[in-house]
């Protein structure tokens, strides 16, 4: 393997040069930050569709490019990559219905391109950002990984296809190297640096952004649909813990808290932080959106047993911290 940076033998054993696709995004930026604190080298590739350069921490290299472009990927992989965290994705359910081809291109074809580059360069490790949406209209909650996939949004279909490409590739009998993969089916990730201005993804950040700008909160359906909110630092810790942990090889692992919060409860929590209630602030109820799941909550026993991982940030604390961050940055840009 070629390494473009000179390392001592001890560093070669302990630290890795890691490619994070989508490294300028919300989750990718947090994972990059944690990897750097552990001494790893980080290369981010991102087309800045929703990501921001400022999400890429100091010390990481950013290559601006599309994950479905094999020329861009080749220029990175030929510098020597020890592991890939494949996080780039079109993450909005509503945009997946508005532009299915773009969703398929980024989420599924982009994953195939990353896999092809891994095979060509015999990269031994890949971790993939899968999604709880693949469970779809599944009545079993908390949902264990053994429940069948039943995706009901175009987004979930492209994510599930990508996840299956990842695991089917790792099992190919014709590979002449060990290709160890792990997928994380992440539930609703929230925390500082989630976009407050992207009205297509991240219901908590959307509500916070709405209230900061004095806009009405829009709730689709009756608001009793529930989501499992997990803090981004807990998620980043799971990814980094799994990196060198053989017990996670070949596994699909839920990352959530197991605690569902309804969208009405979420709106109440956000409004209360700003001194409002649903009676004192404009809240509009609209018809349900395509692909919307009714209840989602993770069974997290597998993450606990394989990684010794459990979420450490209580939802109320994490949301209060995130709202404080959002207030601060909205003050600083006024
Ligand atoms: N946030 C969640 O709750 C959640 C839950 C489950 C899965 N996921 C998945 O995790 C990943 C990260 O989500 P996020 O919340 O950080 O969203 P995000 O939009 O902040 O991050 C996605 C990143 O991918 C980049 N990107 C998009 N298309 C690209 C392309 N074609 N080429 C290169 N880069 C591209 C974007 O610019 C962005 O930086 C996504 O794949 C998403 O589907 C997110």
If we measure between CA atoms, which residue out of 192, 323, 187, 179 comes closest to residue 259? 187
pLDDT at 332: 67
How many C-beta atoms lie closer than 10 Å to residue 141's C-beta? 19
Residue with CA closest to ligand 1 atom 19? 50
Q: Give CA–CA dist 235/43, Å, rounded.
A: 19
Q: Give CA–CA dist 211/214, Å, rounded.
A: 5
Percent of the chain clearing pLDDT 70 (strictly above): 95
Confidence of residue 11 (pLDDT cuts 50, 70, 90): very low
Ligand 1 center–CA 44 separation, angstroms: 13
Kindly state the tokens that stand for 159. Answer: 């994510």
Annotation marks residue 220 as catalytic:
no
Pocket test for ligand 1, best of 88, 166, 195 (most atoms within 8 A of CB): 88
pLDDT at 101: 98
- If you write DSSP's letter for every residue of 111-164 in order, what string do you get? HHHHHHHHHHTT--EEEEEEEGGGG-S---SSBPTTSPP---SHHHHHHHHHHH
Topology, domain 191-227+259-296+313-332: UDP-galactose 4-epimerase; domain 1 (3.90.25)
The answer to whether 26 touches 91, Cβ cutoff 8 Å, is no
Sheet containing strand 226-231, edge to edge, reads: 188-190, 226-231, 260-262
Count of residues making up the chain: 334
Please name every residue paired with 64 in a beta bridge, in sequence order, or none if there are none: 46
115 alpha-carbon distance from chain centroid: 18
Ligand 1 center–CA 334 separation, angstroms: 27
Q: Which of 155, 200, 220, 249 is catalytic?
A: 155
Mean pLDDT of 304-328: 97
pLDDT at 7 over 80: no
Q: Is 158 in the pocket of ligand 1 (CB under 6 A)?
A: no
Q: Give CA–CA dist 310/297, Å, rounded.
A: 14
Q: Give CA–CA dist 231/317, Å, rounded.
A: 10
pLDDT at 184 over 50: yes
Ligand 1 center–CA 287 separation, angstroms: 26
Q: Using the atom order of ligand 1, give the atom closest to the CA of residue 55.
A: 39
Q: Using the atom order of ligand 1, give the atom closest to the CA of residue 49.
A: 37
For all residues of the chain together, what is the average pLDDT? Answer: 94
Kindly state the tokens that stand for 212. Answer: 């900061």
State pLDDT tens for residues 112-142. Answer: 999 999 999 999 999 999 999 999 987 799 9
Confidence of residue 12 (pLDDT cuts 50, 70, 90): very low
State pLDDT tens for residues 86-112. Answer: 999 999 999 999 999 999 999 999 999
Map out the domains of the chain as residue ranges.
Answer: 9-189+231-255, 191-227+259-296+313-332
State pLDDT tens for residues 49-91. Answer: 999 999 999 999 999 999 999 999 999 999 999 999 999 999 9
Show Cβ contacts of residue 141 under 8 Å, excluding neighbours closer than 6 positions: 260, 295, 296, 297
Query: pTM of the predicted model, to two decimals?
Result: 0.95
Pocket test for ligand 1, best of 50, 66, 196, 255 (most atoms within 8 A of CB): 50
Sign of CA dihedral 156, 57, 1, 8: negative
pLDDT at 153: 96
Show Cβ contacts of residue 164 under 8 Å, excluding neighbours closer than 6 positions: none
pLDDT at 333 over 60: no
Please tell me the CATH superfamily of domain 9-189+231-255, with its number.
Answer: NAD(P)-binding Rossmann-like Domain (3.40.50.720)
Burial of 327 (0-12, 13-18, 19+ CB in 10 A): middle
pLDDT at 334: 53
Q: Is 3 in the pocket of ligand 1 (CB under 6 A)?
A: no
Q: Using the atom order of ligand 1, give the atom closest to the CA of residue 133.
A: 6
């Amino acid at each position: 393997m070629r390494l473009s940076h000179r390392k001592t033998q001890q560093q070669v054993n302990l630290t890795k040069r890691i490619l994070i696709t989508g490294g300028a995004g919300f989750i990718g930026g947090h994972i990059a930050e944690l990897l750097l604190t552990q001494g790893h080298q980080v290369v981010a590739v991102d087309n800045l569709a929703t990501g921001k350069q400022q999400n890429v921490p100091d010390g990481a290299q950013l290559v601006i490019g599309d994950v479905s472009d094999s020329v861009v990927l080749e220029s990175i992989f030929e510098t020597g990559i020890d592991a890939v965290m494949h996080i780039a994705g079109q993450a909005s359910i509503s945009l997946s219905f508005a532009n299915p081809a773009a969703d398929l291109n980024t989420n599924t074809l982009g994953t195939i391109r990353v896999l092809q580059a891994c095979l060509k360069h015999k990269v031994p490790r890949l971790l993939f950002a899968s999604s709880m949406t693949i469970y779809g209209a599944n009545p079993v909650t908390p949902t264990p990984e053994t429940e069948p996939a039943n995706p009901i949004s175009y987004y979930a279909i492209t994510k599930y296809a990508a996840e299956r490409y990842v695991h089917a590739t790792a099992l190919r009998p014709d590979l002449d190297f060990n290709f160890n993969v792990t997928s994380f089916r992440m539930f609703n990730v929230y925390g500082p640096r989630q976009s407050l201005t992207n009205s297509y993804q991240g219901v908590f950040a959307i509500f916070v952004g709405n209230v900061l700008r004095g806009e009405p909160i829009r709730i689709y359906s009756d608001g009793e649909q529930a989501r499992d909110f997990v803090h981004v630092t807990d998620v980043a810790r799971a990814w980094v813990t799994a990196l060198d942990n053989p017990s996670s090889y070949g596994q699909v692992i839920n990352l959530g808290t197991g605690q569902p919060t309804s969208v009405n409860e979420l709106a109440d929590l956000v409004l209360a932080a700003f001194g409002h209630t649903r009676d004192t602030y404009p809240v509009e109820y609209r018809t349900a959106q395509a692909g919307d799941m009714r209840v989602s909550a993770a069974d997290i026993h597998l993450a606990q047993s394989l990684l010794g991982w459990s979420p450490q940030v209580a939802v109320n604390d994490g949301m209060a911290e995130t709202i404080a961050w959002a207030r601060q940055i909205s003050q600083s840009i006024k």
